[in-house]
């Protein structure tokens, strides 16, 4: 906020540009300052006051660009609003929505090593490869495209917000306008699973009328090029807690007589996968819709970056029995997001813990539903001898059954996929290819509630993923490489002007 | 500290008493105040300034009782000192040491539900059975023996410190003196594994000359009576960390291609026990010294409280394939003290974590050594396909091996056992039995570095365990039931006067 005055002065003095690339070149410093100010506003979806500050801040950014912004509110006015803007073009034959989300994943501040999650910092390189902090007060000619901005949502997905608005700037500076009626939509609770998106789309159906959506979210391919994904995986989370003694016990006096819930959880989790990482839960892969021949061919054409990625990630092995990453993300997954029982390290004590918990993440593909996938999980846990509750069991229930578990799923949502032959897919692919190679993915590994767009508005969507793959999204030390931001702006400008 | 003046006035005005029991009856209120003041001093062994405050505070408590206290320091003067006092009896034929420890287990303050760990609080009953907070400013007649004091070390083991000093008070009030030269010794880093005890015993060998030790530590039997334990299990901790990607990854884009360390840890831990809880690590039970016939008979006479305990702990099953608790604590154990990978609950994120860690606790019996038991563990982890390091592996090492683990053991110590026929065992048993039934255990489940007493000083020891079994020692909400403290004082006075 403290930079706004000088920022406006810089924006006002932007020279006219002959291309989005030259506009970026001439305005990088002002862009950095505007972006850092946006990242400094905490944006965890559950942090209601700050989420609203984000919405109002972004609305002001749109206002300065003449995009007639409005906050599209939920019925009770309490949910994070959709931030909406538009650039209508007289005579345009179609209307497209460009989407990004302005909320970010929750943060564990003490895990961040480079800076605090909401104190964005510019580094001269990746932090674990010798990057050093830099001032944002840099002159135009000093900006190096390999620099990185660190902070929550630097990539996921305030980069989408910033790049869409900068692409509007670039078009205006060139004296151009979009090839269609452009509607811009930023969501504020995507990382919380978009619990209100369906209702919001229904409520604002007329405002949001369009022929299709282009989603700006996600990482470029590990080998460098942008990815155009025609689908996303669905997602449902389930927390599993198993129970030991009703209070933590001295591990000398009661070990090993009292069952240890950490060991019970280890055995339960270990029963869910074989040694290649294939899920052994009955029926896990049964309802998957098979890939078409064209989709299988597209997957085969995706560059293989697996070995380089293994080196970057210091991995000595991978799951999937030799299958490639791109093949594996077209399957439903079961991932342990986190696991906890009592404490380790300096706070560890000699106890038999009272409970042990694992946070599971189940990614879904076309054919799966969240409810069915969770039901398979619950059936599997029952088959291991557990009585399963959807709440904390009572002391009486804990004593009645030899093994007791609690499973609490989130609502979740299914996968979505647009046909490889749909005009929206073909046009966006063609626009992006003017700038170089792209990677075309039938489905990307990540999840967005894109099924809602078809369900509520009856239109298809595609996703453009532009940010550096090593961006630590969803974790500590999230960052964006400037070159990806610059190229992303140009790519989005190309989509906006596609015929 | 703020109550010291009034406390001294109360102590000075103590009426003469005819028995330890009547002395306790007449002085309960002053005792409570003195004890609460002691519990209010934080006592985690690594907290050097506060550990010294404890030592000086206890030394002053001894000084008031005429016990000629001294702090027995380590060579560099930096370790928690032994607090030593004595009551020498002209003409006594033997010298015994009464031992307790004044440090406590580490605390996770946010897990405590009743009070902060070092803000002791008096409750009218157990906190999960309707107990309500009470003021310590109560009159003599109001003290109910079912009340409980909550706070770190309320049972383990400042109760030992307080009860030994109160037993001295009781004897003096009766005009009695011990039946032997009484030496009193309080250790300040027992819960940290007594890393300096051997050196301290060597350095102060002459001061600590005796015919045997009586240890005051640990819980009474679950059925109520005090326990006389002739041995303790040894103990060694080992932290096991397994490694996934070098940074946390988005669980959508990389799951399940990148190996998940939480799942790897689950599989590794699950491989260490069978479904009855028996450790499946090769040779785990091989070097155990078999129990003698007399020891087996004593174990057979221990009251069976297993069913009542299962109800109290809300347990629907136990480990050991039907064996009783008392039998099981005579075996070496493998317990998971804690387990952690990324986060669960509100801070959980959709990531493949970078590491997963389990804190293991290996209890040892006669015949085991810490080094051999850890070596069996490491061999087992290697047999599961892991390259094992004693430090964080480098990125190059993580990539070279399919599975990489770090195992970092504490030094640990072996078990110790005194013969059931030794005069010290027989005399202490006889003294305690004057007050009612006792439970005689060849070995108790907990651990103390008692092997050092024989190794460094050449004398035997026995342990008297007096505190309520449901005291949450080593965990949050640690507490002591007043009746156990009162009876414990009388029991210790009986030991002090045994012929």
**3-class DSSP assignment, residue A217:** coil
- Distant-in-sequence, close-in-space partners of B76: CB < 8 Å, separation ≥ 6: none
- Distant-in-sequence, close-in-space partners of B458: CB < 8 Å, separation ≥ 6: none
Percent of chain A exceeding pLDDT 70 equals 95
Nearest to B446 by CA among B432, B431, B465, B461: B465
Contacting B residues, span 329-388, partner chain A, CB-CB under 8 Å? 329, 333-353, 356-359, 361, 363
Contact call for A340 and B344, based on CB within 8 A: yes
pLDDT of residue B13: 45
pLDDT of residue A368: 97
- Mean pLDDT, chain A, integer: 93
- Using a CB-CB cut-off of 8 Å, the residues of chain A touching B233 are 252
* Local confidence pLDDT in tens for the 499 residues of chain B: 334 444 444 444 455 567 999 999 889 888 998 999 999 999 999 999 999 999 999 999 999 999 999 999 999 999 999 999 999 999 999 999 999 999 999 999 999 999 999 999 999 999 999 999 987 566 555 788 999 999 999 999 999 999 999 999 999 999 999 999 999 999 999 999 888 999 999 999 999 999 999 999 999 988 899 999 999 999 999 999 999 999 999 999 898 899 999 999 999 999 999 999 999 999 999 999 999 998 999 999 999 889 999 999 999 999 998 899 999 999 999 999 999 999 999 888 899 999 999 999 999 999 999 999 999 999 999 999 999 999 999 999 999 999 999 999 998 999 999 989 899 999 999 999 998 999 999 998 888 888 999 999 999 999 999 999 999 998 999 999 999 999 999 999 999 999 8
Whole-angstrom distance, CA of residue B193 vs CA of residue B414: 11
Contacting B residues, span 221-250, partner chain A, CB-CB under 8 Å? 233, 235, 237, 239, 243-250
pLDDT (tens digit per residue) in A183-192: 999 999 999 9
Whole-angstrom distance, CA of residue B75 vs CA of residue A161: 64
Closest alpha carbon within chain A to B320: A257
Contact call for A256 and B339, based on CB within 8 A: no
Minimal CA separation from B292 to chain A, in Å: 21
Minimal CA separation from B293 to chain A, in Å: 23
Mean pLDDT of A356-368: 97
Contact call for B337 and A350, based on CB within 8 A: yes
Contact call for B474 and A251, based on CB within 8 A: yes
pLDDT of residue A15: 53
Could you tell me where the DSSP H helices lie in A350-441?
A: 370-383, 395-400, 423-433
Whole-angstrom distance, CA of residue B25 vs CA of residue A104: 62
- Distant-in-sequence, close-in-space partners of B433: CB < 8 Å, separation ≥ 6: none
Q: What is the largest CA-CA distance in chain B?
A: 81
Mean pLDDT of A321-339: 94
Q: Nearest CB to B474: which of A311, A325, A351?
A: A351
**3-class DSSP assignment, residue A347:** helix
Q: Which residue of B335, B389, B397, B468 to mutate against A (max A Cβ within 10 Å)? A: B335
Could you tell me where the DSSP H helices lie in B13-92?
A: 20-39, 48-64
Q: Looking at residue B219, what DSSP letter applies?
A: B
Which value does ipTM take for this structure? 0.78
Minimal CA separation from A236 to chain B, in Å: 10
Contact call for A350 and B361, based on CB within 8 A: yes
Which two three-digit tokens encode residue A42?
A: 């905490």
- Using a CB-CB cut-off of 8 Å, the residues of chain B touching A342 are 337-339, 359
Percent of chain A exceeding pLDDT 90 equals 84
Strands in B113-158 per DSSP E:
121-123, 133-134, 148-150
Q: Is the Cβ–Cβ distance between A184 and A85 less than 8 Å? A: yes
Minimal CA separation from B235 to chain A, in Å: 9
Q: Which residue of A110, A232, A239, A249 to mutate against B (max B Cβ within 10 Å)? A: A249
Contact call for B277 and A256, based on CB within 8 A: yes
pLDDT (tens digit per residue) in A218-276: 999 888 999 999 999 999 999 999 999 999 999 998 988 999 999 999 999 999 999 99
Minimal CA separation from A360 to chain B, in Å: 9
Q: Is B369 left (phi over 0), alpha (psi -120 to 50) or beta?
A: beta
Contact call for A336 and B252, based on CB within 8 A: no
- Using a CB-CB cut-off of 8 Å, the residues of chain A touching B252 are 233, 235, 329, 363, 444-447
pLDDT of residue A138: 60
Contacting A residues, span 292-331, partner chain B, CB-CB under 8 Å? 306, 310-320, 323, 325, 328-329, 331
Q: Nearest CB to B263: which of A218, A267, A273?
A: A273
pLDDT of residue B18: 79
pLDDT of residue A317: 94
Whole-angstrom distance, CA of residue B96 vs CA of residue B80: 23
Closest alpha carbon within chain A to B324: A257
Minimal CA separation from A409 to chain B, in Å: 12
- Using a CB-CB cut-off of 8 Å, the residues of chain B touching A239 are 344-345, 348
Mean pLDDT of A154-173: 97
């Amino acid at each position: 906020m403290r930079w706004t005055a000088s920022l406006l002065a810089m924006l006002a003095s932007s020279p006219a540009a002959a291309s989005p690339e030259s506009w970026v070149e001439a305005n990088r410093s002002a862009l950095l300052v505007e972006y850092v100010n946006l990242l400094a506003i905490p944006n965890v979806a559950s942090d209601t006051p700050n989420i609203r500050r984000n919405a109002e801040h972004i609305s002001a950014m749109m206002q300065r660009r003449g995009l007639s912004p409005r906050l599209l509110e939920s019925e009770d006015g309490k949910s994070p609003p959709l931030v909406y803007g538009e650039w209508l073009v007289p005579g345009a034959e179609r209307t497209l929505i460009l989407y990004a989300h302005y909320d970010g994943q929750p943060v564990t501040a003490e895990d961040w090593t480079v800076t605090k999650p909401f104190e964005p910092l510019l580094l001269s390189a990746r932090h674990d490869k010798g990057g050093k902090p830099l001032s944002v007060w840099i002159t135009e000619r000093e900006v190096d495209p390999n620099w990185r901005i660190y902070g929550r949502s630097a990539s996921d997905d305030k980069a989408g917000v910033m790049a869409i608005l900068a692409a509007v700037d670039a078009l205006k500076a060139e004296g151009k306008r979009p090839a269609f009626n452009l509607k811009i939509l930023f969501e504020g609770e995507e990382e919380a699973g978009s619990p209100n998106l369906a209702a919001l789309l229904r409520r604002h159906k007329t405002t949001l009328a369009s022929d299709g959506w282009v989603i700006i979210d996600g990482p470029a391919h590990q080998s460098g090029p942008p990815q155009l994904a025609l689908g996303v995986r669905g997602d449902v989370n389930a927390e599993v807690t198993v129970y030991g003694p009703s209070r933590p016990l001295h591990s000398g006096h009661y070990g090993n007589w009292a069952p240890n819930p950490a060991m019970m959880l280890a055995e339960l989790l270990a029963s869910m996968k074989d040694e290649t990482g294939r899920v052994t839960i009955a029926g896990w892969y049964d309802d998957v819709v098979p890939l078409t021949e064209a989709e299988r061919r597209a997957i085969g054409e995706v560059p293989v970056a697996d070995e380089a990625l293994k080196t970057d990630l210091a991995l000595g092995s991978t799951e999937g029995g030799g299958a490639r990453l791109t093949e594996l993300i077209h399957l439903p997954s079961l991932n342990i997001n986190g696991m906890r029982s009592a404490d380790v390290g300096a706070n560890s004590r000699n106890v038999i813990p009272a409970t042990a918990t694992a946070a599971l993440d189940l990614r879904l593909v076309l054919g799966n539903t969240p409810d069915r996938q969770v039901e398979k999980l619950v059936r599997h846990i029952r088959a291991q001898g557990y009585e399963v509750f959807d709440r904390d069991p009572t002391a009486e229930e804990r004593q009645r059954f030899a093994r007791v578990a609690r499973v609490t799923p989130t609502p979740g949502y299914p996968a979505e996929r647009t046909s490889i032959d749909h005009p929206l897919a073909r046009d966006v692919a063609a626009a992006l290819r003017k700038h170089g190679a792209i990677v075309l993915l039938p489905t990307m590994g990540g999840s967005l509630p894109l099924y809602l767009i078809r369900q509520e508005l009856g239109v298809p969507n595609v996703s453009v993923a532009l940010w550096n793959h090593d961006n630590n999204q969803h974790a500590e030390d999230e960052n964006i490489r400037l070159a990806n931001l610059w190229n992303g702006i140009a790519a989005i400008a190309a989509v906006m002007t596609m015929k």
